[in-house]
Amino acid sequence: MILVAVNVNLNWDGYINALRPKGKLHIVGAAPSISATVFPLIIGQKSIGGSPLGSPATMETMLEFAARHGNGPITETFPMSKVNDAMEKLRTGKPRFRLVLENDLD
């Protein structure tokens, strides 16, 4: 299963190809549209689904599942003093993962 929690268009075929047979691409972000080649879905018995994030109880269950399986976010961290560098990277569309600003107070 690949859980998509972003609201941008992605290389959907790449994500579908990353699924194992009978895998599921599940979308909880408000992606504007999805465009994918159907044949890999059919031959791999893969599926695309979506749902809202849900209640606090559902979110707790999801977080427990992620912790149990060692899943976590992939982020790129910048100290607050480098906010301009982070914003430039964001403007140019270069972040591969989520950008996180941290206070650099000692």
Local structure of 41: helix, strand or coil: helix
Q: Which residues pair with 50 in a beta bridge?
A: 27
Q: For position 64, what pLDDT does the model report?
A: 92
Classify residue 32 as left (phi > 0), alpha (psi -120 to 50) or beta.
Answer: alpha
- Answer whether 12's CB lies under 8 Å from 35's CB: yes
- Whole-structure pTM over 0.85, yes or no? no
**Which 8-state DSSP code applies to residue 7?**
S
Model pLDDT for residues 47-73, shown as the tens digit of each residue: 999 887 777 888 889 889 999 999 888
With a cut of 70, say whether residue 89 has pLDDT above it: yes
Local structure of 66: helix, strand or coil: helix
Strands 2-4 and 98-102: unpaired
What is the spatial distance between Cα 61 and Cα 58, in angstroms, rounded to a whole number? 5
**What is the domain partition of the chain in residue ranges?**
1-72, 73-106
Q: For position 106, what pLDDT does the model report?
A: 56
Output the CATH code of domain 1-72.
Answer: 3.40.50.720
